[in-house]
């Protein structure tokens, strides 16, 4: 299969494409055929080496964390996903791997994509949605029944606050948003 590789830190020019094989599937993992992957600022920082003291990677490294695709195979202990399921998720930054044709990941990490959502939309969610959740609930300590003002909700993270806020039972601006349910 084809995958992007980094053999040393630097700018985008250090990323090359080459051939590799998929590692063996463990009992609690799934193999996903990647249909879409998103590029996030963290990916660029890892490639540049800025995160090495905090998120160390080993070379050769296949970058990319946010992905969507189709489950191709499941480990023996996996019961909630099956081959053919459309999924999206985020690999650990130190593991990377989303900028490849296939990825092996713990079965608990990906989520099923709602039928009305495209692969591209789903691949754009994990980091942006996770950042919004972190800001609202972990850092902001938002609780049920509280109100929140989302000012200048633009870019990748801002729009994620509104559906997350509403789905978590908090009051704020309403945004028509179908398909993705969140829990606080």
**Res 174: pLDDT:** 36
May I ask the CATH class of domain 2-117?
A: alpha beta
Length of the chain: 184
The answer on pLDDT for 25 being more than 50 is yes
Reported as a single tens digit per residue, the pLDDT across 37-57 is 999 999 999 999 999 999 999
Q: Quote the percentage of the chain above a pLDDT of 70.
A: 82
Domain positions in the chain are 2-117, 125-167
**Res 147: pLDDT:** 80
The answer on pLDDT for 169 being more than 90 is no
| 148 compared with 43, residue with greater pLDDT | 43
The answer on pLDDT for 183 being more than 60 is no
* Entry pTM: 0.79
Torsion sign (Cα): 179, 92, 77, 19: positive
Strand, helix or coil at 89? strand
Q: Quote the percentage of the chain above a pLDDT of 90.
A: 68
User: What integer is the mean pLDDT of 59-87?
Assistant: 97
Looking at the DSSP assignment, which residues form a beta bridge with residue 71? Answer: 32
């Amino acid at each position: 299969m084809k995958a992007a590789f980094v053999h040393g830190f630097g700018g985008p020019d250090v990323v090359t494409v080459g051939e590799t094989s998929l590692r063996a599937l463990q009992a609690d993992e799934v193999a996903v055929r990647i249909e879409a992957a998103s590029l996030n600022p963290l990916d660029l920082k890892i490639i540049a080496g800025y995160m090495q003291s905090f998120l160390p990677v080993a070379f050769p490294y296949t970058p990319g964390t946010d992905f969507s695709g189709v489950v191709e195979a499941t480990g023996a202990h996996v019961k909630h996903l099956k081959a053919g399921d459309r999924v999206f998720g985020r690999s650990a930054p130190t593991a990377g791997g989303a900028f490849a044709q296939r990825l092996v990941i713990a079965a608990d990490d990906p989520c099923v994509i709602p039928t009305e959502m495209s692969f591209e939309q789903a691949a754009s969610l994990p980091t942006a949605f996770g950042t919004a959740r972190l800001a609202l609930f972990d850092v902001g300590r938002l609780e049920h029944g509280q109100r929140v003002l989302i000012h200048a909700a633009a870019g990748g993270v801002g729009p994620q606050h509104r559906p997350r806020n509403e789905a978590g039972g908090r009051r704020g601006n309403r945004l028509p948003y179908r398909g993705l349910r969140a829990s606080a």
